[in-house]
Amino acid sequence: MRSRLIELTFSKGWLYNFQRRHNLKSGRTQGEAGSACAASVDKGRVELRARIVDYEAKDVYNLDEIALYYCKPPSENISAEPISGRKSDKKRRTVTVAGNADGSEQLPLLFVGSAVKPR
């Protein structure tokens, strides 16, 4: 039995014209961008490379943490009327992602909660 679903794709131009025809605006309701000094980043990279030069790539790991806000509403909206800001829900979990420099090993995701007595 063949599927009757049609895969729809829309270009950015189509979305722009649709918004213009229906007087819709897209925008952010909240958010702030942060940046780091490029010179400081370059200096840190040089120092890091000097520290790990004696190790093999399979023995060098990187771990990043990500804040997962699982109850947060989207930060971008499309609306015909201005959208008032609202207090952002702070419910979150921290997720860690880790792997070694040569890509031969990726550690399982680690989810970190904030409960005093987790169940």
Q: pTM, whole model, 2 decimals?
A: 0.52
pLDDT at 112: 86
Q: Is the dihedral of CA 48, 49, 55, 61 positive or negative?
A: positive
* Measured CA distances, 43 to 22, 47, 48, 73, 93 (Å): 50, 6, 9, 38, 32
Name the helix (H) or strand (E) containing 29.
none
Domain spans, the chain: 57-119
Give the DSSP H or E segment for 36: none
* pLDDT string in tens for the chain (119-residue length): 556 667 777 788 888 888 888 887 776 654 444 567 888 889 999 999 999 999 999 999 999 999 888 777 766 677 777 666 666 667 888 999 999 999 999 999 998 887 777 66
Report the alpha-carbon distance of residue 116 to residue 112 in Å, rounded.
12
- Mean pLDDT rounded to a whole number for the chain: 80
